[in-house]
């Protein structure tokens, strides 16, 4: 039984899909004005793991991730670069797809773009206007927050508390400082669309209400995003959607903790970020995914090279077993040596971990226990029947590959690759020896000469790992 922490009820709840045949998930995607950073990647990867675990449990999942391709930041970037907003978004949408593919994130069923949903966006604003939840002020349309009864139910903020904060943000046009824009009147040099209120463009929050409704229906199962979106973005989505349809919007709200740097949120505006594509040059996608999986998805996680290098090093244990399995499957030995092995209990432990509000770090620990146990069995018998290796491969495929995707059975090392690996490992051992003997000149030479060959060594508490190329 899968249990999830629901930000709306502030409780860990049993997950029961609205339609037993299909789980519908909406995840707030990128605003495409730059490469996404490794903090964004954390949210994207964790949403991917949620989706994959639901598929593991046998659900059909419809996964929708929007692309915000009309926004102040996009307009600013286009002006700075003297390009059209369309050129800017096209480039970064392509880059987004390249990067999520490298991170092994499964494709969503739909990637709706705001610019392709203007009719739906305008329709929902019209509905809100008809129901007196929205008002037009000279071509700007605002949402009347106080008119909606449940405002604050997701973030736990109340109207009085919000009013204190909102006074700072006095906007002459709004009836009330708490109100937010649904439709923004076009300004000189900005992209615009025709609407019943004149030329303009939608606010950010309404895009997600319109596009989720179009692709997932008025009520759906899971809405996900990073913690920063709880307020105001998701709070406003609820206000818009529930006012427009009169129905509950989302059953389970899932929010991912921040990826921090030096205990501070990684963000574009603070400038303390690394793009996912740069981090991918230094670490494998599997290591990055394992680094994320080893932390509780709701909590903060600090980005450090030590942790990533440790993840890379840790993965070698799995990769070595994968190599061994691939070898044995090729050999295809039939024999009487059929070791007793309790696969069932490992599946059970993996599921128990994931069922408990997606305890991915425990799930990773189960996989490592499994690898250790398999290695013990392999070390103690010879000529093992190929079926044992088939079962080992099935377990790792279903868990480490299909759900967490921290292993790749197709990345088989050829004989040459294995020789290269063994030689690099030998040099790493010699370097470690040299360091132990305080022969830093030699240890540095080994590191530098390897670097010249395109082999980068990364030290961590677990030992030294390496990465070849780029």
Region from 103-111, 263-271, 346-354, 389-397 binding ligand AMP, contact rule CB under 6 A:
263-271
Query: CB under 5 to 8 A by kind: which of Zn ion, ligand AMP, none does 267 bind?
Result: ligand AMP
Kindly state the DSSP code that residue 299 receives in the 8-state scheme.
Answer: S
User: What's the token pair of residue 80?
Assistant: 């700075």
Given the complex with Zn ion, which of 148 and 389 has the nearer CB atom? 148
Please report, as residue ranges, which positions from 208 to 247 form the binding site for ligand AMP (by CB under 6 A). Answer: 225-226, 228-229
Query: CB under 5 to 8 A by kind: which of ligand AMP, Zn ion, none does 208 bind?
Result: Zn ion
Region from 16-24, 256-264, 290-298, 405-413 binding ligand AMP, contact rule CB under 6 A:
256-264
- Per the CB < 8 A criterion, the answer to whether 182 and 125 are in contact is yes
Burial track 258-276 (b if 16+ CB lie within 10 A, e otherwise): bbbbeeebbbbeeebbbbb
78 lines the binding site for Zn ion (CB under 5 A): no
Report the SS3 class of residue 276.
helix
Which of 136, 171, 219, 267 touches ligand AMP by CB under 6 A? 267
Query: CB under 5 to 8 A by kind: which of Zn ion, ligand AMP, none does 152 bind?
Result: none
State how far the Cα of 282 lies from the Cα of 468, in Å rounded to an integer: 9
222 lines the binding site for Zn ion (CB under 5 A): no
288 lines the binding site for Zn ion (CB under 5 A): no
State how far the Cα of 61 lies from the Cα of 109, in Å rounded to an integer: 9
Region from 54-62, 179-187, 262-270, 411-419 binding ligand AMP, contact rule CB under 6 A:
262-270
4 lines the binding site for Zn ion (CB under 5 A): no
Given the complex with ligand AMP, which of 111 and 133 has the nearer CB atom? 111
Phi, psi of 131, deg, nearest 5: -90, 10
State how far the Cα of 136 lies from the Cα of 181, in Å rounded to an integer: 10
Supply the minimum distance, in Å, between the C-beta of residue 104 and Zn ion. Answer: 23
Kindly state the DSSP code that residue 294 receives in the 8-state scheme.
Answer: T
Question: Which string of DSSP letters, residue by residue, matches 108-143?
Answer: PSB--BGGG-HHHHHHHHHHHHHTTSEEEETTEEEE
Query: CA torsion, points 16, 21, 26, 32, in degrees to nearest 10?
Result: 150
28 lines the binding site for Zn ion (CB under 5 A): yes
326 lines the binding site for ligand AMP (CB under 6 A): no
Given the complex with Zn ion, which of 28 and 108 has the nearer CB atom? 28
Query: CB under 5 to 8 A by kind: which of Zn ion, ligand AMP, none does 314 bind?
Result: none
258 lines the binding site for ligand AMP (CB under 6 A): yes
Q: Which of 230, 309, 209, 237 is nearest to 43 (CA)?
A: 230
Which H or E run includes 301?
strand 301-302
Supply the minimum distance, in Å, between the C-beta of residue 29 and ligand AMP. Answer: 6
Query: CB under 5 to 8 A by kind: which of ligand AMP, Zn ion, none does 226 bind?
Result: ligand AMP
Region from 161-169, 201-209, 285-293, 458-466 binding Zn ion, contact rule CB under 5 A:
201-209
Given the complex with ligand AMP, which of 210 and 229 has the nearer CB atom? 229
Supply the minimum distance, in Å, between the C-beta of residue 43 and ligand AMP. Answer: 4
Which of 95, 100, 125, 208 touches Zn ion by CB under 5 A? 208
211 lines the binding site for Zn ion (CB under 5 A): no
- Per the CB < 8 A criterion, the answer to whether 42 and 292 are in contact is yes
Longest dimension (CA), the chain: 83
State how far the Cα of 470 lies from the Cα of 459, in Å rounded to an integer: 18
Report the SS3 class of residue 221.
strand
From the CB of residue 382, how many other CB atoms can be counted at a distance below 10 Å?
Answer: 9
Please report, as residue ranges, which positions from 6 to 45 form the binding site for ligand AMP (by CB under 6 A). Answer: 28, 30-31, 39-40, 42-43
- Per the CB < 8 A criterion, the answer to whether 334 and 422 are in contact is no
Task: Tell me the residue nearest to ligand AMP as measured from the CB.
Answer: 226
Please report, as residue ranges, which positions from 332 to 371 form the binding site for Zn ion (by CB under 5 A). Answer: none
State how far the Cα of 101 lies from the Cα of 97, in Å rounded to an integer: 6
Query: CB under 5 to 8 A by kind: which of Zn ion, ligand AMP, none does 210 bind?
Result: none
Query: CB under 5 to 8 A by kind: which of ligand AMP, Zn ion, none does 39 bind?
Result: ligand AMP
Please report, as residue ranges, which positions from 271 to 310 form the binding site for ligand AMP (by CB under 6 A). Answer: none
Cα-Cα-Cα-Cα dihedral sign, residues 147, 148, 150, 154: negative
Residue ranges binding ligand AMP (CB under 6 A): 28, 30-31, 39-40, 42-43, 225-226, 228-229, 256, 258-259, 265-267
Residue ranges binding Zn ion (CB under 5 A): 28, 208
């Amino acid at each position: 039984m899968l249990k999830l922490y629901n930000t709306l009820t502030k409780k860990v709840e049993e997950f029961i899909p609205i339609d037993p045949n299909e789980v519908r998930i909406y995840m707030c995607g990128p605003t495409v004005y730059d490469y996404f950073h490794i903090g964004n990647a954390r949210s994207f990867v964790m949403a991917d793991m949620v989706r994959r675990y639901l598929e593991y449990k046998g659900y059909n999942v419809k996964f929708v991730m929007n692309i915000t391709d009309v926004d102040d930041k996009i307009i600013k970037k286009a002006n700075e670069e003297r390009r059209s907003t369309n050129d800017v978004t096209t480039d970064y949408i392509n880059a987004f797809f390249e990067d999520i593919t490298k991170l092994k994130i499964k494709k969503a069923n739909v990637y709706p773009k705001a610019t392709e949903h203007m009719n739906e966006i305008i329709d929902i604003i019209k509905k809100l206007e008809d129901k007196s939840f929205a008002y037009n002020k000279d071509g700007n349309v605002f949402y009347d927050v106080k008119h909606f009864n449940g405002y604050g139910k997701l973030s736990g903020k109340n109207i009085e508390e919000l009013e204190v904060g909102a006074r700072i943000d006095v906007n002459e046009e709004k009836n009330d400082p708490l109100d937010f824009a649904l439709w923004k009147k076009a300004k000189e040099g900005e992209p615009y669309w025709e609407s019943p209120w004149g030329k303009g463009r939608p606010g950010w929050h309404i895009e997600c209400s319109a596009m989720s409704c179009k692709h997932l229906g008025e009520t759906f199962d899971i809405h996900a995003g990073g913690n920063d979106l709880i307020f105001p973005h998701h709070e406003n989505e609820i206000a818009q959607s529930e006012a427009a349809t009169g129905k509950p919007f989302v059953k389970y709200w899932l929010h991912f903790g921040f990826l921090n740097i030096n205990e501070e949120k990684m963000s574009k505006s603070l400038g303390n970020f690394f793009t996912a594509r740069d981090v991918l040059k230094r670490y494998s996608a599997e290591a990055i995914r394992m680094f994320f999986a080893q932390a509780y998805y709701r909590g903060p996680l600090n980005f450090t090279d030590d942790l990533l290098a440790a993840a890379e090093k840790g993965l070698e244990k799995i990769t070595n077993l994968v190599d061994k399995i691939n070898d044995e499957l090729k050999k295809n030995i039939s024999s009487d040596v059929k070791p007793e092995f309790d696969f069932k209990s490992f599946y059970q432990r993996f599921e128990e971990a994931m069922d408990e509000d997606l305890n991915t770090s425990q799930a990773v620990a189960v996989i490592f226990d499994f690898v250790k146990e398999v290695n013990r069995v392999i070390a103690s018998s010879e000529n093992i029947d190929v079926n044992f290796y088939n079962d080992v491969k099935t377990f790792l495929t279903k868990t480490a590959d299909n759900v967490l995707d921290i292993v790749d059975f197709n990345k088989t090392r050829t004989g040459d690759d294995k020789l290269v690996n063994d030689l690099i490992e030998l040099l790493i051992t010699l370097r470690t020896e040299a360091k132990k003997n305080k022969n830093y000149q030699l240890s540095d030479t080994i590191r530098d000469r390897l670097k010249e060959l395109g082999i980068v060594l990364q030290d961590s508490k677990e030992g030294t790992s390496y990465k070849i190329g780029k």
